[in-house]
Amino acid sequence: MADFTSAFWDWFIIALTLLSIIGLLIFTLKVGARKFVPGEKAESMGHVWDEDLHELNNPAPRWWYLGFIISIFWGILYLFLYPGLGSFSGYLGWSQIAQYEEEIAQAKQTFGPIFDEFKNEKIEDLARNPKALLVGQRLFSTYCTTCHGSDARGARGYPNLTDNDWLYGGDSVAIKTSIMKGRQAAMPPWGSLLKDAEIHAVAEYIRTLGGLSADDSLAAKGKANYSQYCMVCHGANGEGNPALGSPNLADDIWLYGGSSKKIIESIKDGRNGLMPPHENFLGEAKVHILAAYVYSLSR
């Protein structure tokens, strides 16, 4: 906490916590100390249910009162042993980061040999190894299905990994690099440079590249702007460029949709796709097996 706030808030939290505990303890001792006196008539608190069910001011049972006192002192003991008072780390020095790192170290020691067994084998060979594929499938289920789906067929904005259409290349090296280093795609917005009518015309021309139905007259007008602004990344015939991550526009595979509306959105507003890097999180051994599994999906 002290890393990103002033010392005032540190002491404010400490004081507020301790005063709350002290106030609760005083209140409990004062109110709960009242004992039940045989023969004493309890008074009604004025709350009535079901016509004749009255709430009375009987004192709390002693076991409940003592249990409440014990819980307060247990809270004080906890705040002494563990973090809870501002930046005070507690007598035991526990932290969630240290516990996480300890558990990760134990997991690496236990499961590391399983992944290291395949580390030096070629991805192409692992893609035909049932044992390696089973391990890779479990890694994929844990880390990749959120974006690419449990069947690896992706969703709008998330590539289908089971076909043979790849933005950055589908060979083993490219797939492993994508997982290890991540990818940052950037389709710049052209809405400020081209008019809506011009964007619509370019979209119609792009649809013709993919063999889709389009307005031929608009497509003819859009070809000039395509050649001027789009060809440098997507190629003269819309074949794309894996070195840049530029998609192939000449097939019928669309990451964000191939309708006129979606293509116009992509041109006008641009697109920014992010594949996060997993190198530091998973390590090379796990990524190696995961890459083999992904490589096998399209083959």
pLDDT band at 108 (very low <50, low <70, confident <90, very high): confident
pLDDT exceeds cutoff 90 at 166: yes
pTM over 0.75: no
CA 86, CA 4: separation in Å to the nearest integer? 12
pLDDT exceeds cutoff 90 at 65: no
Which amino acid type is present at position 59?
P
pLDDT exceeds cutoff 90 at 114: no
- Give mean pLDDT, residues 148-167: 95
**pLDDT, tens only, 238-269:** 999 999 999 999 998 999 999 999 999 999 99
> Domain residues of the chain, as ranges?
7-94, 99-184+276-297, 196-272
Q: What pLDDT does residue 1 have?
A: 47
275 is written with which tokens?
A: 């594949």
Rounded percentage of the chain residues whose pLDDT exceeds 70: 98
157 is written with which tokens?
A: 């904005």
Own/partner pairs, 216-223, CB within 8 angstroms, 24+ separation: 222/198
Q: Sign of torsion, CA 187 188 190 191?
A: positive
**pLDDT, tens only, 2-53:** 455 678 888 898 999 999 999 999 988 887 777 767 777 877 888 888 888 8
99-184+276-297 and 196-272 in the same fold: yes
Q: What pLDDT does residue 209 have?
A: 94
Q: What pLDDT does residue 139 have?
A: 96
Would you say domain 99-184+276-297 falls under CATH 1.10.760.10?
Answer: yes
End-to-end CA distance of the chain: 51
- Using CB atoms within 10 A of its CB, is residue 250 exposed (0-12), middle (13-18) or buried (19+)? middle
> Of the ranges 4-8, 57-61, 113-117, 216-220, which one carries the lowest mean pLDDT score?
4-8
CA 14, CA 269: separation in Å to the nearest integer? 49
Which of 31-40, 89-98, 175-184 is modeled with the greatest confidence?
175-184
CA 132, CA 115: separation in Å to the nearest integer? 9
CA 127, CA 4: separation in Å to the nearest integer? 47
CA 244, CA 240: separation in Å to the nearest integer? 8
Q: What is the CA radius of gyration of the chain?
A: 33
Q: What pLDDT does residue 175 have?
A: 97
User: Could you say which architecture CATH assigns to the domain 196-272?
Assistant: Orthogonal Bundle (1.10)
- Give mean pLDDT, residues 60-65: 84
- Helix 62-81 × helix 7-32 angle, to 10°: 160
- Give mean pLDDT, residues 213-229: 95
CA 197, CA 222: separation in Å to the nearest integer? 9
